[in-house]
A and B are shown apart, each in its own frame.
Chain A
Amino acid sequence: MEEVKKILTVCRSCHGGCGVIAHVKDGKVIKVEGDSESPISHGTLCSKGLAITQLAYHPDRILYPMKKGDNGWERITWDEALDTVIGKFKEVIKEHGPESIVIGQGTGRDYESHLYRFANLLGTPNVLTAGHMCYVSRVAATLITCGNLPICDYKAEPKCIVMWACNPQWTNPDEYKGEGFWRAYKKGSKLIVIDPRKGFLAKKAYLWLQLRPGTDAALAFGFLHVIIDEGLYDEEFVKNYIHGWEEFKERVKEYPLERVEEITWVKKELIRKAARIYATVKPACINWGVPTEQTLNCTDCTRLLTGLMAVTGNLDVAGGNVFFVPPPVRTVSQFSRHKDLSPEQRKKRLGGEQYKLASRVALITPKVAWDAILTGKPYPLKAGLLCGTNPVITRANAREAYEALKKIDFLAVIDFFLTPTAELADIFLPAGTWLEQNHVADNWKRHGYALARQKAVEIGECWQDHKIFQELGKKMGQEWWDTVEDALDYLLEPTGLTWEQFKEKGYLKGEQAYYKYKEKGFSTPTGKVELYSTVLEKWGHDPLPKYTEIPESPVSRPDLLEDYPYILNAGLRTPTFFHSANRMIPWLREIRPDPIVEIHPETAKKHGIEEGDWVYITSPRGRAKERAKLNDGIDPQVIVAEHGWWFPEVKDPGHGWDTANINILTDNSHESMDPVMGATNLRVLLCNISPCGVE
């Protein structure tokens, strides 16, 4: 028996980038723990990261490539698997063109650089990611407004923190994990929480604004109204660095507090108080999350929040929302050779004409992919490669996603387990977990770090995703490297380090600077913060942000209220699971055995529902069954439901994908999506509830 070796690496059980020490004995990881030296997590580690050994060594994990034959799944070699995928892709390219191949990913295991390189060199503009409604949509909206995504500068200790529709301590944090926030909070920051549900942070907050789900953009107008009305804005910044200030002010006037209160259900005096604190207790930062993105107000809401940061002078100042400077590692964009996708192919991007902002960031919204598969319009998608994604669970209108993926001629998936999506595939390619990866991690992020994720072990025949794209690419005749590590040397080249040297170092941090705009301006067409967007104007859209009522709400559809009297706030995240992942992990499932729907006690009583009862949640599109938990921290008219549920223990190939899946209820019609980004509404719709009774 060998001694225990300790390998320093970086977690990827969510977006977190937390430092990990993996204890390896006899070629097996026997334990993981947080790395106290990590600049991101300081030794802490969440339940998902801590449970990685139960995922990596799970008895159901698929450890070799497979093809679906007449008798179900059968084991094949990597050569056969790759040859089958490439053979099919070449056939499709010859008959229909590369655009008829869709490449997709979920939230990603840090492989977007490799996935996009494969797609771009293949020549397909159709890359299907979660980005239409998660993170990338925030990046895209800030890109056209102020040039980049402004991140909370927690290390510099903001005096006021606005936690807007976000719970970074519980769920997938985009830049830092919640620990950075917590440290700042503990130093005495005033915390303002905006959330329809009273969670831990609402309890901790100085002010809690309990808004009607989906009305975030209107609430932002309320803040702006107070700030402009009371002259609380930074005059110098506004004068020198905002494009369209006068027009923007006029637009804000359309949202007096009375109107905002009516839309958002938040008392105007509370809005006034919160706005005054945010504008005057400086530095202040806003940490905002996906619920603001997952409605048709996606782009406008982020633009309004950016507006708040800008007009209060909290943009790119220490302790405000800042543009961190990354270390000089090659970017995802450079590595993936976006520029090499020809203009002709770009023009063929599905939905590209309609969803121009999505197209700007090189992705498509799922609806256009499903349409292309199901209707053949504007041209058919014939083959797909999906990596680490489970769209039949996580995308709006799950039934349509399921039908489309069932129908597509050829589907290959890269994953750990036979998920409900993987079960629809023809070829299964087994991916390595983060314990099985060498990578320059987090190089796509905006927190200023690049982290060394170092391989601790190899398991079965699994390959890290990067290697899968590399070997597929090479078989397509694309330009790649001999080994994964050679490609990492290329990524690291501008830093002067090789992968081997970087590994020793652990991480790199960019040199942070503030007020960069004073010298360089903002990376927008006017060089200013474009609250009046010249880009949106050019595209024929309203250049000023606005609040659009949710298409299925008590306000817009009173006719539905008799049958669907409640507002469903879907997609509650929990700390043990990551979207549709981890339901098979014993330690985690023990903590959360069932999908939970939260109901106000008064509402539950009306329906004869008691704590722990199974409940049907029904929308005009279908129903899901989850278990009731009573919560008086939500409005009696609001129902809060978890997302991501399927049941690995159900052994038929559907694995219960349509029983507790909240996306059976959601809509993905074009009218329900953000008009420039194609963000689907995964969050706010009308529903009814009823007890399931004895079954």
Chain B
Amino acid sequence: MKKVSLIFFKNDCMGCHACEVACKQEHGLGVGPRLVRVIERAPDFIPIYCHHCAKAPCKEACPVDAISRDERGIVLINNELCIGCKECMEACPFGAMQFDDDREVAVKCDLCIERLENNEQPACSKACATGCIFWGDTKQLSEKIVAAKSKSVNPKLDREITGI
């Protein structure tokens, strides 16, 4: 099975935060955990999100094996097993692991796994008005991003990456 991933093309993030709210709505999260987050340093915007790392430091750090990586490469956390020790948060180099104070467990991006099963794109990607959130086949994604970066002016908007 092909590996899937999520990538923000940072240069095109305009800091609208639609992805954040779409994600919260999709995952039923209140104030606190932000599975995707955009930091503003106008005119730059820095999206913080889970890269679903091949060798995921969060997974390695978890003392109770609550974090796994499925056959598509999606890094998932089992909240039933999580003991809330926050080791994964320390380990994640991107700051993508979040903590849900209400349930006292770590939470993370699941790439909208239920939506993927219904052939829908992740909620963040769907809401994004500049189309800077790419998801799908990891290898294709890397190629797309390299191609987008190499074009000096106005890389073409490409919503065709579906991958799965």
Q: A interface vs B, CB < 8 Å?
A: 31-34, 41, 43-47, 50-51, 53, 169-170, 177-179, 182-183, 185-189, 197-203, 206, 575-576, 586-588, 590-591, 598, 631, 633
Contacts A182-B157, A590-B31 given: A50-B130 contact, CB under 8 Å? no
A47, A179, A631: the one contacting B21 at CB < 8 Å is A47
Which residues 4-61 of B have a CB within 8 angstroms of A?
14-18, 20-22, 24-26, 30-32, 34, 42-45
Query: Chain B residue with minimal CB distance to A586?
Result: B31
Query: Chain B residue with minimal CB distance to A598?
Result: B42
Q: In the bound complex, do residue A34 and residue B126 qualify as a contact, i.e. CB atoms below 8 Å apart?
A: yes
Contacts A199-B43, A200-B42 given: A43-B126 contact, CB under 8 Å? yes
Q: In the bound complex, do residue B25 and residue A183 qualify as a contact, i.e. CB atoms below 8 Å apart?
A: no
Q: In the bound complex, do residue B43 and residue A633 qualify as a contact, i.e. CB atoms below 8 Å apart?
A: yes
Q: In the bound complex, do residue A44 and residue B15 qualify as a contact, i.e. CB atoms below 8 Å apart?
A: no
Nearest 5 interchain pairs by C-beta: A186-B157, A203-B43, A50-B21, A575-B16, A44-B129
Q: In the bound complex, do residue A177 and residue B129 qualify as a contact, i.e. CB atoms below 8 Å apart?
A: yes
Q: In the bound complex, do residue B25 and residue A200 qualify as a contact, i.e. CB atoms below 8 Å apart?
A: no
Q: In the bound complex, do residue B154 and residue A188 qualify as a contact, i.e. CB atoms below 8 Å apart?
A: yes
A170 partner residues in chain B, CB cutoff 8 A: 14-16
Q: In the bound complex, do residue A189 and residue B154 qualify as a contact, i.e. CB atoms below 8 Å apart?
A: yes
Contact of B105 with A by CB under 8 A: no
Q: In the bound complex, do residue B42 and residue A50 qualify as a contact, i.e. CB atoms below 8 Å apart?
A: no
The docked-state distance in angstroms from the alpha carbon of A598 to that of B41 is 11
Contact of B106 with A by CB under 8 A: no
Contact of B76 with A by CB under 8 A: no
Q: In the bound complex, do residue B127 and residue A169 qualify as a contact, i.e. CB atoms below 8 Å apart?
A: no
Q: In the bound complex, do residue A47 and residue B126 qualify as a contact, i.e. CB atoms below 8 Å apart?
A: no
The docked-state distance in angstroms from the alpha carbon of A200 to that of B45 is 8
Contact of B153 with A by CB under 8 A: yes
Q: In the bound complex, do residue B42 and residue A198 qualify as a contact, i.e. CB atoms below 8 Å apart?
A: yes
Which residues 97-134 of B have a CB within 8 angstroms of A?
123, 126-131
Contact of B155 with A by CB under 8 A: yes
A633 partner residues in chain B, CB cutoff 8 A: 42-43
A200 partner residues in chain B, CB cutoff 8 A: 14-15, 42-43, 45
Q: In the bound complex, do residue A199 and residue B24 qualify as a contact, i.e. CB atoms below 8 Å apart?
A: no
Q: In the bound complex, do residue A575 and residue B154 qualify as a contact, i.e. CB atoms below 8 Å apart?
A: no
Q: What are 16 of the A-B contact pairs (CB < 8 Å)?
A: A32-B25, A33-B126, A43-B126, A44-B126, A45-B18, A50-B18, A50-B25, A169-B130, A178-B129, A182-B129, A182-B157, A187-B157, A198-B42, A202-B43, A586-B31, A591-B20
Interface centre among A197, A200, A202 (most CB of B within 10 A): A200
A47, A178, A186: the one contacting B20 at CB < 8 Å is A47
Contacts A53-B25, A178-B129, A633-B42 given: A186-B156 contact, CB under 8 Å? yes
Q: In the bound complex, do residue A591 and residue B17 qualify as a contact, i.e. CB atoms below 8 Å apart?
A: yes
Q: In the bound complex, do residue B43 and residue A47 qualify as a contact, i.e. CB atoms below 8 Å apart?
A: no
Q: Give min CB distance, A680 to chain B, whole Å.
A: 27
Q: B interface vs A, CB < 8 Å?
A: 14-18, 20-22, 24-26, 30-32, 34, 42-45, 123, 126-131, 153-157
Contacts A50-B25, A586-B30 given: A44-B154 contact, CB under 8 Å? no
Query: Chain A residue with minimal CB distance to B158?
Result: A186
Interface centre among B25, B34, B126, B156 (most CB of A within 10 A): B25
The docked-state distance in angstroms from the alpha carbon of A44 to that of B22 is 10
Sample of 11 more A-B contacts, CB < 8 Å, known A44-B128, A50-B22: A45-B18, A51-B21, A179-B129, A183-B157, A186-B156, A187-B154, A200-B42, A200-B43, A587-B20, A591-B20, A598-B42
The docked-state distance in angstroms from the alpha carbon of A578 to that of B25 is 20
B31 partner residues in chain A, CB cutoff 8 A: 586-587, 590
Q: Give min CB distance, A596 to chain B, whole Å.
A: 9
Q: In the bound complex, do residue B154 and residue A46 qualify as a contact, i.e. CB atoms below 8 Å apart?
A: no
The docked-state distance in angstroms from the alpha carbon of A189 to that of B154 is 8
A50 partner residues in chain B, CB cutoff 8 A: 18, 21-22, 25, 127
Q: Give min CB distance, B68 to chain A, whole Å.
A: 27
A187 partner residues in chain B, CB cutoff 8 A: 154, 156-157
The docked-state distance in angstroms from the alpha carbon of A50 to that of B20 is 10
A41, A188, A587, A591: the one contacting B153 at CB < 8 Å is A188
Contacts A170-B14, A182-B157 given: A587-B21 contact, CB under 8 Å? yes
The docked-state distance in angstroms from the alpha carbon of A50 to that of B126 is 12
Q: In the bound complex, do residue A576 and residue B157 qualify as a contact, i.e. CB atoms below 8 Å apart?
A: no
Query: Chain A residue with minimal CB distance to B115?
Result: A33
A183 partner residues in chain B, CB cutoff 8 A: 157
B22 partner residues in chain A, CB cutoff 8 A: 33, 45, 50
Q: In the bound complex, do residue B42 and residue A631 qualify as a contact, i.e. CB atoms below 8 Å apart?
A: yes
B16, B34, B157: the one contacting A169 at CB < 8 Å is B16
Q: In the bound complex, do residue A45 and residue B127 qualify as a contact, i.e. CB atoms below 8 Å apart?
A: yes
The docked-state distance in angstroms from the alpha carbon of A336 to that of B90 is 62
B45 partner residues in chain A, CB cutoff 8 A: 200
The docked-state distance in angstroms from the alpha carbon of A633 to that of B41 is 10
Contacts A46-B16, A51-B21, A189-B154 given: A198-B130 contact, CB under 8 Å? no
Q: In the bound complex, do residue B157 and residue A33 qualify as a contact, i.e. CB atoms below 8 Å apart?
A: no
B155 partner residues in chain A, CB cutoff 8 A: 186
The docked-state distance in angstroms from the alpha carbon of A130 to that of B24 is 33
Query: Chain A residue with minimal CB distance to B19?
Result: A47
Query: Chain B residue with minimal CB distance to A46?
Result: B18
A46, A182, A185, A188: the one contacting B127 at CB < 8 Å is A46
The docked-state distance in angstroms from the alpha carbon of A51 to that of B127 is 12
Q: Give min CB distance, A19 to chain B, whole Å.
A: 12
The docked-state distance in angstroms from the alpha carbon of A31 to that of B129 is 19
A590 partner residues in chain B, CB cutoff 8 A: 31-32, 34
B15 partner residues in chain A, CB cutoff 8 A: 170, 200, 575
The docked-state distance in angstroms from the alpha carbon of A258 to that of B123 is 51
The docked-state distance in angstroms from the alpha carbon of A592 to that of B12 is 21
Q: Give min CB distance, A611 to chain B, whole Å.
A: 11
A33, A51, A185, A206: the one contacting B123 at CB < 8 Å is A33
Interface centre among B15, B17, B26, B45 (most CB of A within 10 A): B17
Q: Give min CB distance, A570 to chain B, whole Å.
A: 17
The docked-state distance in angstroms from the alpha carbon of A32 to that of B157 is 25
Q: Give min CB distance, A476 to chain B, whole Å.
A: 41
The docked-state distance in angstroms from the alpha carbon of A189 to that of B30 is 40
B127 partner residues in chain A, CB cutoff 8 A: 33-34, 44-46, 50
Query: Chain A residue with minimal CB distance to B151?
Result: A188
A202 partner residues in chain B, CB cutoff 8 A: 43
Q: Give min CB distance, A90 to chain B, whole Å.
A: 46
The docked-state distance in angstroms from the alpha carbon of A188 to that of B17 is 25
Contacts A188-B154, A586-B31 given: A575-B17 contact, CB under 8 Å? yes
